[in-house]
Structure formats: structure tokens, C-alpha cells
Structure 1
Amino acid sequence: MFGGFTGFTRPLNTDMGEQVLNAVANQSIRHLFTSSEAIDVQIRCFPSSKLLQGSIDSFKMQGRNLVIRRDFHVEEMSFTTDAVSIDPASALSGQLRLKQPTQAVAQVILTEEGINKAFDADLVRQHLVNVEMEALTNLSGGEPVSFRDVHITLMPENQVHIGAKVDLPNRKDLPISLRSMIAVEKRRQIRFQNAEFDPEGVPDEGRSLSKIVSLAFAEVLDGMVDLDRFDLDGVMVRINRLETHGKKLVFTGYAQIDHFPGSR
């Protein structure tokens, strides 16, 4: 999707100043993530004398198999900026400080597997347990309901299939099944739109009940994912577009970088 890591290979004659900045930036970026398989940071400046004034031509970061907040898996993430102004003295102390915030073109790729793992995270589970919904009052006897075993299947053209289970007073392990379109709102919220009940895999005797609960569950999911809950230290991501590609969900947009991690 990013063309792998080709094109980011450092030339043999990389200036020493760039090497120092690359090493410092790489270490700073790693602090954003709980773990990572690979992170590649490239800072370019020509001529190198501009570094003395803190002027950088471009900053690129590309990471693979990243984990955010211990539970959220990202297949790939990249930021690319144009000119950036830094405090040149900060690099000597092992940090990078921006003179002013900067924006970067951003791309984030999630896998279907990573998305489904996220439904087990506490930050997500708290929105699925003991949910009070007026639409289900008659079915639940007025008691809150909890959804579990959530599984999303990515489909072409930004469609998803969503399955889950719920317990009701008169029915345990009721299967939920629906299809929906996913879209972006306000550049930060993931919306589940045009939800429709999918009877496939739901026993005939439970379909009428499952349809009601499935459409109610779509309301629970709609707008639940807000990127503001996942902001990285000093980096705010905004989405302009999302697309499903096989078993991957690709977000493109921009990132506002206020400061490098740990540099305030």
C-alpha cells in the first residue's frame, strides 16, 4: 500500500547532521507506541548548513505493525511534511522541538484482524456493556443490555458485515447480524450508515427478534469511534477519506504535529 519501505533507504552519503536528527526523531517517534515492528524516520535538509538555522526540507515517518495504548493494532502508518522549523539546539540534548506546529499528509492502514482485536479493549468494551437503549426497553424488561463477541468483516465499497451476541431475559446468546456502510464525519468520527439486518446465519425462529436488536446495535456503533480518544502525544490525526481494500481499511488525511513526543 505504501510500496513497502522502498524509497526510504538512506543514501550512503547522508550528511552527519541528518543522521543525528534521524536518530533523535526515530527514538522520539517510538515513544508514541506501545510496541512496533519497524519505524523509519527520514529528515532531509539541503544544503546541510540550513540545519544551523533549524530549517528542514521534509520529515517522513513510516511505521509497520504498531500498537497504540496496548490494545490497538495498526498495520501501517505514515506522515509526510513539507518544510519544518525546529530548534537546532534541542537535537544536541537528544530531543527535537518544533518552533511551530506543522501539518503532514497522513495514511493509516488497519487490518480486519486488528479491528476485531480492538473490540476486546477496555476503551471499546465500556461502550458495549450495560447499554441502556429505549428501543430495547420492552425486550430487556428495562434492564441494560451487553453486547459481546463482536466481529466485523470488511467488504468491498466501504461495506461491512457485523456480527455479535446479546443476552435478553427470554433469549440467551441471541445472534446479531447486519450490514452497513462506513463513512467519516467531521474528519474524526467513524459512522455506520444505512444499516440493514442480514438474516444469513440467524435461525428462523429468532430472526424477528434479532432484526430489532441488530438495528439497535447499529445505533450503538454509530459514532462510537472517535479519533480524539486515540490521539497520540503531540499528534492529532484527521481523516479525509476511508476505503476498504480486501481485508484492510485504509484512512487518508492529515496529521497536525504540535510537538515531538517527550519534547515539551
Structure 2
Amino acid sequence: MTKDDRSLEGQALGKAAEIGIKSQLDEVQEVNVDVDAQALGLAQGKVDSVSIKGKGMVMEKDLRVEDMELQTDSVSINPLSLAFGKVELTRPVDASAHVVLLEEDINRAFNSEYIRSKMQGLDVHVNGKVTKVDFQQVDFRLPDSTKVALSATILDKETGESQPVAFTAKPEIGEGGQRVVLTQVEYHDGKDLSPELTEALLERSAELLDLRNFELEGMSFQIQKLDISEGKLALQTAARVEQFPS
């Protein structure tokens, strides 16, 4: 088999994996899968490496990933699976992955129907009494390389009055590398209207910034490093691939 033939065979496997990935996403701007393998190696169930690059990938909960790159080392596959255009692993493989989230996309997810439905009719202590409140609007910002800024408008359903709550916090790796959690809360003007309002926002943040939201079928991630810049959150992760999407 010629070099060109081998290249075409690898491209066919890559295209099959791309179709599998796209089937798991609500939207995707671009996804490319590169299967680096030679014909003889494929016949023996050996693939030198697999790389996945995606852009504009909309996952569950309306959370959009600006960029995702995943790279494996050598992979052992079932040669018989190739007849069906699939890359079926005979054992799990370790990989590294890089995920980039934009401020505007996190903001959109915060105000999605799914998250907003979980922030309505909450019983909290405000001004010394228990009252039922709705979060009407949430604003998530990444103003610099050290912190996250969160603000929201809160509607008191009993009085009909609205009031703001706003604070900054430090993003850190939490829950065994599965989530980005916000710590070291500092309130604007040093004023804390209600710890429970703050806790509700922190919990929704952790829920959105949970790596399990970004996992494709057969893959799991663990955050190793956070890189924050103005308007952007980048996650360096270790990945475990049990199976490639098909």
C-alpha cells in the first residue's frame, strides 16, 4: 500500500470520529480528528497517536467551548473495528487536553433557561428575615488574571423590590480536579446582603465550570492548571480516553 493510501486510510478513520463527536454536540463550528497511523500498524492494531481539535463546541447546559485540543500517545485498537470505520480501543489511553472558555459564553450559560430555572423561588435570609427571591440577571466577568467578578439583580417576591449583589472571587481547582470553584469572596463596598445569595451564585458557578460538562462520550478530564486572562479562562487537563466517539 502506498504512502498516499495509508494517508487516506487514516483520514477515513478521522472522519468517522468527527461524525461521532458532532453527534454529541448541540452545535459545533469546527472539529478535526487526525489519526496518525500506517497501514501495517493498523493491521496490527497500532495507532501512533490521535489528536482532536474543536472550535465553537456547544455542550450540554448551553455551555460553549471556544477551543478544545486533545492529544494522545500511542493507541491500541481492535483491528476488526476498522471494517466498520471506527477506532475501538482495546485498553484505555492517557492524553492531555487544553480547553478555552470565553467570558461571553460563560455569561450566556449563566442566563440560560436551565440555570435560571435553578435560581428562582429560593428561600434565603435577607435583612434578618427569610424571604423568597428570584435571580433576574447574572453578569459573569473575567476582568484580569487573578479573579472573577459576579453580579446579579435579585427580586424579592414578597415586596417586589429589586436589589443588586456583587462580589469578586478567586478561581481555584476543586473537587479532585473536576470543578473550578470560587474562593476568597470580596464584596463591593464591603457589603454582604446575604451569605445565602452569595452561596447560590457560587454553587451555580461551580456547576457550570464542572469539567464533566465538557466531556465527550468515553472521555474524562481532570484539571491540572488554570490560566486566566482578561475575558478568557483556559484549563490544562489530563484526560483518560476509554473510547473514541463513534
TM-score, length-normalised on structure 2?
A: 0.86
Change (3 A) 1:137 1:174: closer
Q: Which residue of 2 aligns with 1:20?
A: 12
SS of residue in 2 equivalent to 1:42:
strand
Q: What is the percent sequence identity of the aligned residues?
A: 25
Show CA shifts across 1:47-81 (max 9, x none): 43111011111110001111112611110011100
Q: Which residue of 2 aligns with 1:6?
A: none
* Aligned 8 A contact 2:54 2:67 in 1: yes
Task: Tell me the distance in 1 between the aligned counterparts of 2:12 and 2:214.
Answer: 30
Question: Which residue among 199, 224, 229 is the counterpart of 1:245?
Answer: 229
Question: Which residue among 223, 236, 241 is the counterpart of 2:220?
Answer: 236
Q: Over aligned residues, Cα RMSD in angstroms?
A: 2.4
Q: State the one-letter code of the partner of 2:150.
A: I
Q: Which residue of 1 aligns with 2:179?
A: 189
Q: Which residue of 1 aligns with 2:188?
A: 198
In the TM superposition, what is the alpha-carbon distance from 1:165 to its structure 2 partner? 0.8
Q: Which residue of 1 aligns with 2:163?
A: 174
* Aligned 8 A contact 1:158 1:183 in 2: no
* Aligned 8 A contact 2:218 2:242 in 1: yes
Q: Which residue of 2 aligns with 1:155?
A: 143
Q: Which residue of 2 aligns with 1:121?
A: 112
Task: Report matched runs for 1:92-103 at 5 Å.
Answer: 92-103=83-94
In the TM superposition, what is the alpha-carbon distance from 1:138 to its structure 2 partner? 5.4
In the TM superposition, what is the alpha-carbon distance from 1:111 to its structure 2 partner? 0.6
Structure 1 gap segments, 5+ residues each? 1-10, 200-206
Structure 2 gap segments, 5+ residues each? none
In the TM superposition, what is the alpha-carbon distance from 1:252 to its structure 2 partner? 0.7
Change (3 A) 1:84 1:147: same
Q: State the one-letter code of the partner of 1:240.
A: Q
Q: State the one-letter code of the partner of 1:36.
A: V
Q: State the one-letter code of the partner of 2:42.
A: L
1:76 maps to 2:67: yes
Q: Which residue of 2 aligns with 1:56?
A: 47
Greater Cα shift, 86-95 or 11-20: 11-20
Q: Any runs of at least 4 consecutive aligned residues in structure 1 with deviations exceeding 4 A, and if so which?
A: 11-14
1:212 maps to 2:193: yes
| Number of aligned positions between the proteins | 238
Q: State the one-letter code of the partner of 2:181.
A: R
TM-score, length-normalised on structure 1?
A: 0.81
